[in-house]
Amino acid sequence: MARFFDVHPHDPQPRAIAQAVSIVRDGGLIAYPTDSCYALGAQMGNKEALDRIRTIRHLDDKHHFTLVCRDFAQLGQFVNIGNDVFRSIKSVTPGSYTFILPATKEVPKRLLHPKKKTVGVRIPDNRVVQALLAELGEPLLSSTLLLPDEDEPLTVGWEIKERLDHQVDAVIDAGDCGAEPTTVVDFSSGVAEVVRRGMGDPSRFE
């Protein structure tokens, strides 16, 4: 059964955050709220957790996983980003956007798109996520909690606990969560291409 952490959305309890991060460090898979919707999260190098995410979401090897980063200093370790692209991303960050960029050698190969050698990155505007990232000290490997054959992602903590009780190791509930995934912008060619419309305003990149 999954652990259930009920945390304050603006001032998350340090003890609960530390316990959730301990589960991640021990190889666990968590469901956690973001500024867009719930996501599945695990430690970046955890192959077993990656396979569990693929199983839960029925993903193929062409799916772009996301590294959820605390800030630009951390993000810059894992993707190659030019000045023009940096300025474009900086103008909407933190926020409900995921950016696809060429990965650096710091990113495990199993996380990369097999042909493009790219990875998704984002910096969320959410205090619970920021607390998790500060405690963990590295990005969270993440994927939107959108189940197979469903049009909308899960957004309610107790419902996630009921439906995924034996598939995840912890659920963090911080109350209401956004009802849409992030807007995804592919910068891998150096020019913005909106590949998914979501919470973030896509018009800035069109």
pLDDT digits (tens, 9 = 90+) for 22-78: 999 999 999 999 999 999 999 999 999 999 999 999 998 888 899 999 999 999 999
pLDDT of 113: 86
Question: Which helix (H) or strand (E) covers residue 43, if one does?
Answer: strand 38-43
pLDDT of 177: 80
**Alpha-carbon Rg for the chain in angstroms:** 16
Q: Which fold has domain 3-205?
A: DHBP synthase (3.90.870)
Q: Which of 5, 56, 79 is nearest to 166 (CA)?
A: 56
Per residue in 49-81, is it b (16+ CB within 10 Å) or e — as a string? bbebbeebeebeeeebbbbbbbeeebbeebbeb
Question: Helix, strand, or coil here: 112?
Answer: coil
Determine how β-strand 118-122 pairs with β-strand 66-68: parallel
Q: Which of 19, 25, 16 is nearest to 44 (CA)?
A: 25
pLDDT of 147: 93
**Number of C-beta neighbours around residue 15 at 10 A:** 10
Q: What is the pLDDT of residues 138-195, one digit of tens each?
A: 999 999 999 998 888 888 999 999 999 999 999 999 987 878 899 999 999 989 999 9
Q: How far apart are CA 31 and CA 154, in angstroms?
A: 10
Q: What is the pLDDT of residues 93-136, one digit of tens each?
A: 999 999 999 999 999 999 988 888 999 999 999 999 999 999 99
Q: 154: which residues sit within 8 A by CB, 6+ positions away?
A: 31, 37, 38, 145, 146, 147, 160, 163
Average pLDDT of the segment spanning 190-202: 94
Q: Which of 170, 129, 169, 131 is nearest to 14 (CA)?
A: 131
